[in-house]
Amino acid sequence: MTALPPFAARFQDVEVTFPRSWTAGANGTAYRVPGSTALDGVTCDVPAGQITGLLGRNGAGKSTMLGLLAAFRRPTGGTVLTGPDGDLRDPWEDAALTSAILLVQESGDVFHDQKVAATLAYYADLRPEWDAGYAEELLDLFEVPLRTKPSALSRGKKSALAATLGLAARAPLTIFDEVYLGMDTPTRFAFYDALLADYAEHPRTIVLSSHLVEETERLFEHVVLVDRGRVVFAEPAEELRSRASSLTGPTAVVEDLAAGHEVLHRQHLGPTTRITVNGALSDDDARAAAAAGATIGHEGLESLFVHLTRTSREAPATRVPDTDRAPARKEELR
């Protein structure tokens, strides 16, 4: 079968609303879940052949976006397209695309009561790019026994199994939705290393949804930040890494220097103040800061993520005009 190039994806004004529904509680009783909006006018691109980080707070709509890409659900409005660059199509019920897109969620989508080998065989059957040898190598690396049932594995081992499925499938669009949950630190780093090594050897498009921004940001080439069902930004990671700056020094000085900039965060410690501003500071600003005894620093992606999502919640009227809409709910409640 002819190999497919890495996939790109596009969200065009995508809306997902969940109707009022019933769900089962922990004690087995059914209760009513009110309707809500998970995605509201999402428009962004996922570039082909890059690692895209999808960031957002709990309930921001990340999993819903990823579910749309994998054709797990349909949008209420708008269009989701994916496929080889220049030939984007609706993935819904298109076996050519669904077999080239893999969404890996925590604990994986596996046959819990059959041996791990049964799940691997099923994936191998439906995934033309599946590499069985590599899958066994990864299971060895993560110490997941082939002859055990997933239901008998610990949470961390289940996540490792999910990561194995994602890597060994070598899908042109591979999506990891918080797959690291439950993994211990050495396993997480082993996963990141394996991901980078295999990505270099077999280029494809990877989307990584994560809360551990500091730990994963080195992997990202492109970043999409969503908050309350809307895209805050979708930009190359390199630009974002230098986007937020901090000014630290005497309060009056840094307040003066920060004037005219969008302030993301303000922190006071006695007479000293640290202000985080959106955007790089100019050479003139740097000279003025140095002369006034203030220091300028670059904020990382994590800081930008924290401040931008906090700002959007503290001042919803400026960033999210539609304040009346119901807060997005985790899809697992549907």
Partner 1 sequence: MSAVATALDERRTAVQRRAVRAVDGQIAAVLRTVGFWYWPVIALAAVVIALVQQRLGALDGSTVQYVVGSARWFAFSLGVIVPMAVMRPHLAAGGTRRALVRGVARGAVRAGVVFGLAVAVLYAAEQVAWRLLDLDWYRTLGPDRTTGVGGFLVNTVGEGLVALTYFLLGAAVAGGFARFGPWLGLVLCLGFGFPAVVADVALYTGPATALAAQILGMSGPLPMLAGLFTVLAAAAVTYIALGLILRDLPVKRPSS
Residues that bind partner 1 (CB under 8 A): 1-5, 21-22, 30, 63, 67, 70-74, 83-84, 87, 93-111, 114, 118-119, 122-123, 125-128, 155, 171, 181, 330-332, 334
Nearest residue (CB) to partner 1, 87 versus 235:
87
93/201 with CB nearer partner 1: 93
SS3 at position 47: coil
Minimum separation from the CB atom of position 22 to partner 1 (A) = 4
185-201 and 155-169 helices cross at what angle (nearest 10)? 0
> Which residue, chain included where needed, has tokens 């003066």?
256
Give bridge partners of residue 30 from the DSSP assignment: 24
Measured from the CB atom, is 22 or 186 closer to partner 1? Answer: 22
3-state SS record for 110-178: CCCCCCHHHHHHHHHHHCCCCCHHHHHHHHHHCCCCCCCCHHHCCHHHHHHHHHHHHHHHCCCEEEEEC
Closer of 88 and 294 to partner 1 (Cβ): 88
Q: Which is nearer to partner 1, 111 or 233 (CB)?
A: 111
Buried b (16+ CB within 10 A) or exposed e, 268-298: eeeeebbbbbbeebeeebbebbeeeebebee
The minimum distance between CB 324 and partner 1, in angstroms, equals 25
Helix (H, G, I), strand (E, B) or coil at 314: helix
Least distance between partner 1 and beta carbon 83 (Å): 8
3 state DSSP class of 239: helix
Q: 240 and 304 in contact (C-beta within 8 Å)?
A: yes
Closer Cβ to partner 1, 86 or 270, answer by number:
86
Q: How far is the CB of 302 from partner 1 (least distance, A)?
A: 23
The least distance separating partner 1 from the CB of residue 222, rounded to whole angstroms, comes to 22
**Shortest Cβ 106–partner 1 spacing (Å):** 5
Q: How many angstroms separate the Cα of 230 from the Cα of each of 14, 15, 41, 82? A: 9, 9, 7, 20
Closest to partner 1 by CB, 44 vs 97, is 97
Min dist CB 86 to partner 1, Å, is 8
Residues 266 and 314: their CA atoms lie apart, in Å, by: 13
